[in-house]
């Protein structure tokens, strides 16, 4: 499968920290700590990692939505728009606002409070679409929304109800339909499958896959559920403590995980026929406000060496698609 791949979304040494003042002392939460990722056109890229490892913050920075206490400390974010690379971190907020929905759209977790509780779903559609498409009447926007909803196999009356009248799965699918409604080039999902039971989860995953197939766009999906990644992602990046530590195609990650943390994540999945106890990662993730020296995983790593405590390893590229940052691999 040699094909020319175009990078659509790229970060360079991205560092975004929360600068907090707690009881008079400055605290720095290093939520995104020197992340370089490249995401291609027409792929589904999964970002995996435990809770509190900076996944959601990474998504926010990818949107250029950096509001205090979150600060962009260093690095750049590029979108590829019409064959031009645009540095989002330097864009004005109105320009960034215009890109949303039309170029890059967001799929939130379909929680109870994801929609404005006093608006009907069509009101939310009208606000989101009407903020970008000009010169269209409300009726035309509703028509567009209705088409989208039917295309994606949702019942058309979802537009006429209030958010609290929808089930969790339906709310989640409405967020996806909304994100897809202006045919964006990039869709970014923040745990869109998390609060759903597996049957509904399957429907949501299928819906995302179908949309991606139709629009040939890029989906970035954040979830801690490796099972979901296995089902949907083309490539997976593993995050730990605000850093990307391993990245490979989905097959490689599952077949040949190299970082001890990735190995733990994969081994904790249940397998058919294997009734042995699943090992979980020992210990808990470090506080992003007080990171250990060297490789942030070393306090939990069973293969820890002296150098791990002193220095963060660089990426070792096994091949074009597989890179890992661990002293056990390559550089050792």
Partner 1 sequence: MNFIKRYLIPRLISYFLVIWLGITIVFFIPRLIPNDPVIKMVDQMRARGSTLEPGTMDGIIHDLTVMYGLEGSTLEQYRDFWVRLAHGDLGVSFFQFPAPVSDLIATALPWTLGLLLTTTAISWVFGNIIGGLAGYYTRRSWSRTLDAVAMVIRPMPYYIFSFVLLLLFTYVWRWFPVTGGASLGALPEFTWGYIKDVLWHSFLPGLSLSALGMAVNFQVMKLLVQNINAEDYVQYARLGGVTNTRIVSKYIIRNALLPQITGLALSFGQIFSGALITEIVFGYPGVGMLLYRAIINGDYNLIMGITMLSIVGITTAMLIVDLAYPLLDPRVRYT
The residues that touch partner 1, with contacts defined as CB under 8 A, are: 60, 63, 65, 68, 96-102, 105-106, 108-109, 111, 113-120, 123, 127-128, 131-132, 162, 164, 175, 178
Comparing CB distances to partner 1, the nearer of 188 and 265 is 188
CB of 47 within 8 A of CB of 61? no
Across 132-169, b (16+ Cβ under 10 Å) vs e yields beeeeeeeebbebbbebbeebebeeebbeeebeebeeb
CA 50 to centroid of chain Cα atoms: 13
Comparing CB distances to partner 1, the nearer of 131 and 310 is 131
CB of 99 to partner 1, least distance (A): 7
Of 40, 39, 29, nearest to 3 by C-alpha is 40
Comparing CB distances to partner 1, the nearer of 121 and 326 is 121
Of 116, 95, 104, nearest to 126 by C-alpha is 116
Comparing CB distances to partner 1, the nearer of 131 and 314 is 131
CB of 2 to partner 1, least distance (A): 36
CB of 13 to partner 1, least distance (A): 24
Across 279-288, b (16+ Cβ under 10 Å) vs e yields eebeeebbeb
CB of 101 to partner 1, least distance (A): 5
Q: Which residue has the tokens 């039917």?
A: 150
Comparing CB distances to partner 1, the nearer of 119 and 304 is 119
> Tokens at residue 33, please?
């700590």
Task: Return the H-helix or E-strand segment holding 25.
Answer: strand 25-35
CB of 182 to partner 1, least distance (A): 10
């Amino acid at each position: 499968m040699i094909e020319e791949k175009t990078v659509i979304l790229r970060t360079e040494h991205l560092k975004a920290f929360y600068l907090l003042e707690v009881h008079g002392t400055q605290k720095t939460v290093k939520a995104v700590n020197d992340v370089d990722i490249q995401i291609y056109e027409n792929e589904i890229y999964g970002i995996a990692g435990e809770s509190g490892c900076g996944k959601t913050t990474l998504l926010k920075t990818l949107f250029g939505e950096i509001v205090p206490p979150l600060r962009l400390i260093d690095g750049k974010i590029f979108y590829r728009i019409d064959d031009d690379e645009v540095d989002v971190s330097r864009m004005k907020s109105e320009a960034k606002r215009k890109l949303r929905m039309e170029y890059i759209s967001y799929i939130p977790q379909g929680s109870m409070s994801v929609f404005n509780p006093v608006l009907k779903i069509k009101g939310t559609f009208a606000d989101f679409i009407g903020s970008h498409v000009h010169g269209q009447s409300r009726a035309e926007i509703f028509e567009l929304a209705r088409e989208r909803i039917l295309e994606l196999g949702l019942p058309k009356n979802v537009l006429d109800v209030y958010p609290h009248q929808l089930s969790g799965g339906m709310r989640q699918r409405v967020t996806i339909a909304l994100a897809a409604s202006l045919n964006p080039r990039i869709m970014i999902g923040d745990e869109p499958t998390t609060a759903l039971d597996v049957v509904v989860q399957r429907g949501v995953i299928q819906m995302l896959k179908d949309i991606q197939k139709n629009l040939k766009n890029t989906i970035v999906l954040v979830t801690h559920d490796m099972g979901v990644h296995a089902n949907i992602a083309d490539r997976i990046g593993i995050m730990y403590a605000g850093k990307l530590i391993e990245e490979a195609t989905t097959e490689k990650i599952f077949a040949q995980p190299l970082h001890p943390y990735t190995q733990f994540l994969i081994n904790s999945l249940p397998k058919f026929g294997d009734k042995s106890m699943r090992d979980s990662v020992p210990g808990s993730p470090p506080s992003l406000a007080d990171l250990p020296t060297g490789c942030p995983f070393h306090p939990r790593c069973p293969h820890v060496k002296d150098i791990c405590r002193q220095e963060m390893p660089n990426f070792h590229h096994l091949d074009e698609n597989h890179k890992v940052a661990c002293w056990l691999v390559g550089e050792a």
